Amino acid sequence: MTLIGINKKDYKPNNDYYTPKWIFDALGMEFDVDVAAPKGGLDWIPAKNFIDIEQDGLNTEWIGRAWMNPPYSQCVPWVKKFREHNNGIALLPTSKAAWFKHLFDDERVSVLHPSQNVRFTTPDNEVKGIFMPTLLFAMGEECTQALHNSKLGRVR
């Protein structure tokens, strides 16, 4: 998770939490773009292209299958763009916010609650959990199939 979509002057790299490699290994697919990537991307994220804070994933066109682990403090615009794009997988926190209900209730969306707690990697290579559970959301046939094939948990 990077803090893209927030005021760049407020960006603090120590608040970045990156998706662990085991999730991508289980999904077994390549993405066309990581829409909220750290600068230069990460070698374990199987994406052809990376949109970082300078390119601003909210104001850049997403092409193809998208991977999205957005800033959890600013989910609303990211979830809106994800739903409009309709092709990708997103790692998002559970929430009582309206954006969560809209995404969870969208019949185009498949949802997986990983049976293993997601612990993130920081830029300092520390492994840290967060205080709320996270879910994987998929849109598009191939992405939904990747959730089913992943064996990470039950898909709804």
Looking at the domain 8-150, which fold is it?
Rossmann fold (3.40.50)
**Separation of alpha carbons 24 and 5, rounded Å:** 24
Neighbouring CB atoms inside 10 A of 134's CB total 22
Residue 106 phi, psi dihedral angles, 5° rounding: -70, 120
pLDDT confidence of residue 7: 47
**Separation of alpha carbons 70 and 53, rounded Å:** 11
pLDDT confidence of residue 129: 85
Domain ranges (residues) in the chain: 8-150
**Separation of alpha carbons 33 and 107, rounded Å:** 24
Instruction: Tell me the CB-side half-sphere exposure of residue 88, using CA atoms within 13 A.
Output: 29
Q: Which helix (H) or strand (E) holds 88?
A: strand 88-93
pLDDT confidence of residue 142: 98
Which tokens is 121 given? Answer: 């990697």
Mean pLDDT split into 10-residue runs, the chain, 156 residues: 45 72 98 96 97 95 97 93 98 92 95 89 87 94 98 94
pLDDT confidence of residue 4: 40
